[in-house]
A and B are shown apart, each in its own frame.
Chain A
Amino acid sequence: MVELTSSEPYQHGGLTGPPPVARRFWQIHHRQRIRLWGIAFVLPTLMFFAVFKYGPMMWAIELSFNSYDMVSTPYFVGLDNYRSLAADPIFRETLINTFVYIAGSTILTTVIGLSLALAINTGIPGARHCMTAMFLTNLMPIIAVCLVWRFLLHPYGLVNQILQPLGFGRIDWLTSSSTAMPAIIMVTVWRFAPYFMVIFLAALLALPEDYYEAAELDGAGAIRRFIHITLPLLMPTIFFVVVVSALLCARIFLMPYLITGGGPGNATRVLSMLIYETGFSYLKMGQAAAISVVLFTIMMVFTALQIRLFARSEQVYM
């Protein structure tokens, strides 16, 4: 406890506290003490991240300049790993696949998530139950998701069974290089759209009524109301959804790994799979580390761009 410089006792309630000089002194200590508590609250988490995230991250960056086959000691190779990546067609294909996957999944998830939210937000009784039902897809264990969809996307599986009467021929979802990535994107959207639907829904519910009333009074139709009121007000949420969705998609591993194994050919190989194979199948941990540094950089750059774009769009709409 802090020593009071005044002989007057400090009274509960603070109104008849110590004389001004002592109170200021006490308040400085008070503020400092509070700040220390703040640091104390954050410290365990920071220490945890230091051990389990930053430590490995630093190790990985350092490793990317080395060659390490997991059983002998690592040795320095400078930029060799990065140079061989740049010359590797498989890495380039994988990079493109990853971008395509992130872009496709993020755009579709955002659009469909928003559409679902708008559909639920129409005030229809029972809509909330439909929302809960859809949300369940986001909770289903990912292993189960992969196993089930692998069967559903078989040439004679359920998806084709449904599409066939509609006139589609047989689609080799997982074995044709033109449909394999769309299939993985489809499963991703199925799993994540409901989650973002809920996020959008919460944002829609929080929108202030006055704007809409004013617009209705002015005779604005539903579509105009949406474009000029809803969308701008939702910009922060859309930004959040796009960033989170892109981050989740960049890390995706199990879905392509269990459903297509990266095939056919290289059609669905994404960066995280390449990292795992390079490190654990080919025992080239240094190169795997280099690939993940690339992935990490992409995500950082992407997020930074997002923030920049968002700030600019805020100015346009506000």
Chain B
Amino acid sequence: MTTPEVAESRRNANSLMRHLPALRKTVGLVLLAALAFAFLVPILWMTVMSFQEGGKMFNLRTEWIPAVWHFENYPNAISRAPFVQYFINSGIVSVTVMAGNVVFCTLAGYGLAKFHFRGSGLVLLLILSTLMLPLEVTLVPTFLIVHKFEWINTYQGIVAPLLIDAFGVFLMRQSIISIPSDYIEAARIDGAGELRILLQIIVPQCLPALSVLAIFSFRDSWDQFLWPLTVVSIDRLRTYPLGLVQFGEEYGNPATEQMAIAVLATLPVFLLFMILQRSINRGFGLSGLK
């Protein structure tokens, strides 16, 4: 029910809208870009500093464009400790954890989403509860368990407690719940085995969620510090966070070289994100975004 006044104001509004869309959109974009830039400033600062000479780190005025680019910070930093080995170790651990999460969270998520056995609600709650226990207290018992498997100072030992994350189970469950059950039923009637159904129907339909799971499980294991610190006591199995923190604790290491290692550490996660980006966007439900 529209009154003449409302109709009038809407006509005026419409005419304004006709003239201002371009201006409005430009101003909006500028503001958004400024906001994005503000968020990125620390990352940019880190990158700029990684090319600066050590003393510049503590200048009272930041030099945003280096007068002298010190590319040698990177090879210098890497040579101060076996960072190549550290990064390889981190890579092995993170890829394995990512794969483990992808496989087992999908299985468990599917089982909880589409199979109604007695106690599935309780199982869901049990899995939720694991999110509430911080690592710091389970550190020693987890270490003891890993020790019992004789996995101290092995890749399996670092990977083991990280292999499945409850958050991933929820994510996959949410995603799989929305798959119409008719497909599955039809396939069963057609005689397809459960594993076939999983691989040929479920997985393709939840690839976006899998991408989200992949990037986050990779990032979480890439970030791990406390657990590798506890379970690794030989140098050739250290992951890069241990090396990076120890790097800053040695006399004579320029802080800018520490920034160089930090930049190198950031690259793989960003790269994985770029590769999976389209799928991740869909996984988040952002395909409607222009």
Within 8 A of B (CB), among A262-283: 271-272, 275-276, 279
> Which listed residue (A45, A55, A116, A194) contacts B164, Cβ 8 A?
A45
**Closest approach, in angstroms, between the C-beta of B23 and any C-beta of chain A?**
12
Majority SS at the chain B contact face: helix
- Are the C-beta atoms of A127 and B32 separated by less than 8 Å? yes
Q: Which of A142, A275, A303 contacts B134 (CB 8 A)?
A: A275
CB closest residue in chain B, given A128: B289
- Return chain A residues, CB-CB under 8 Å to B136: 253, 272, 275-276, 279, 288, 292
**Which residues on B sit within 8 Å (CB–CB) of A296?**
132-133
- Asked if A127 contacts B134 (CB within 8 A), the reply is no
Residues of A within 8 A of B259 (CB): 147-148
Contact A202 B137 (CB under 8 A): no
B226 CB-CB contact with A under 8 Å: yes
State whether the Cβ of B155 lies closer than 8 Å to any Cβ in chain A: no
Q: Does B79 interact with chain A (Cβ within 8 Å)?
A: no
- CB of A122 closer than 8 Å to a CB of B: yes
Q: Nearest-CB distance from B214 to chain A (Å)?
A: 12
Alpha-carbon separation in the docked complex, A206 to B226 (Å): 39
Are A37 and B194 touching (Cβ within 8 A)? yes
Closest CB pairs A-B (n = 8): A38-B115, A41-B111, A202-B285, A292-B137, A56-B138, A45-B108, A42-B111, A144-B262
Q: Does A235 contact B (CB under 8 A)?
A: no
Q: Cβ of A125 and Cβ of B289 under 8 Å apart?
A: no
Does B265 sit within 8 A of A, measured CB to CB?
yes
* Proximity string of chain A (35-55) to chain B, C-beta cutoff 8 Å, 1 when within and 0 when not: 101111110111011011111
* CB<8 Å pairs between A and B, sample of 19: A34-B194, A38-B116, A119-B35, A124-B28, A127-B29, A130-B32, A137-B43, A139-B273, A142-B223, A152-B45, A201-B286, A203-B285, A206-B288, A272-B136, A276-B139, A279-B136, A292-B137, A296-B133, A303-B132
Contacts of A44 in B (CB 8 A): 104, 107-108
Q: Which of B152-190 contact A (CB under 8 A)?
A: 160-161, 163-164, 166, 169, 188-190
B248 touches A275 (CB 8 A): no
Q: What 0/1 pattern do residues 117 to 135 of B give for CB contact below 8 A with A?
A: 1001001001111111111
CA distance A123 to B28 in the complex (A): 10
Known: A57-B138, A127-B289, A161-B62. A139 touches B270 (CB 8 A): yes
Q: Do the beta carbons of A134 and B35 come within 8 Å of each other? A: yes
**B6 touches which of A12, A52, A219 (Cβ 8 Å):** A219
Q: A152–B139 Cα gap in the complex (Å)?
A: 32
Chain A residues, Cβ within 8 Å of B78 = none
Taking Cβ atoms with an 8 Å cutoff, the residues of B that contact A are 1-2, 6, 25, 28-29, 31-33, 35-37, 39-43, 45-46, 57, 60-62, 104-105, 107-108, 110-112, 114-117, 120, 123, 126-142, 145, 160-161, 163-164, 166, 169, 188-191, 194, 198, 215, 219, 222-223, 225-226, 241, 244-245, 248, 255, 258-259, 262-263, 265-266, 269-270, 273, 277, 284-286, 288-290
Complexed CA–CA distance, A78 and B58 (Å): 52
The verdict on A144 contacting B137 (CB below 8 Å), with A137-B40, A190-B39, A254-B225 known, is no
A199 touches B130 (CB 8 A): no
Q: Is the CB of A140 within 8 A of B269?
A: yes
Q: Is the CB of B107 within 8 A of A41?
A: yes
A153 vs B196: C-alpha distance in the bound complex, in angstroms? 55
B132 touches A299 (CB 8 A): yes
Decide: A49 and B42 in contact? CB cutoff 8 A. Answer: no
**CB pair A59 B35 closer than 8 Å:** no
| Seed contacts A48-B164, A295-B134; 10 additional CB < 8 Å A-B pairs | A35-B115, A38-B111, A56-B141, A57-B138, A142-B225, A202-B284, A206-B288, A219-B2, A279-B140, A288-B137
Contacts of A13 in B (CB 8 A): 189-190
In the assembled complex, the CB of A303 is this many whole angstroms from the nearest CB of chain B, namely 7
Residue on A nearest B138 in the bound complex, by CB: A56
Please state if B286 and A202 are interface contacts (CB–CB under 8 Å): yes
- By a CB distance below 8 angstroms, the chain A residues around B255 are 151
The yes or no answer to A158 lying at the interface (CB within 8 A) is yes
- B166 nearest in chain A by CB position: A49
Given contacts A148-B46, A205-B285, A285-B140, contact A143 B164 (CB under 8 A): no
Assuming the contacts A139-B270, A292-B134, asked whether A56 and B108 have C-beta atoms less than 8 A apart, the reply is no
Within 8 Å CB of B62, what residues of A?
A: 158, 161
Give chain B residues whose Cβ lies under 8 Å from the Cβ of A46: 108, 123, 126
Q: Looking at the complex, which one of B36, B127, B225 makes contact with A143 (CB distance below 8 Å)?
A: B225
Residue of A nearest to B117 (CB): A35
- In the bound complex, CA of A245 to CA of B280 (Å): 20
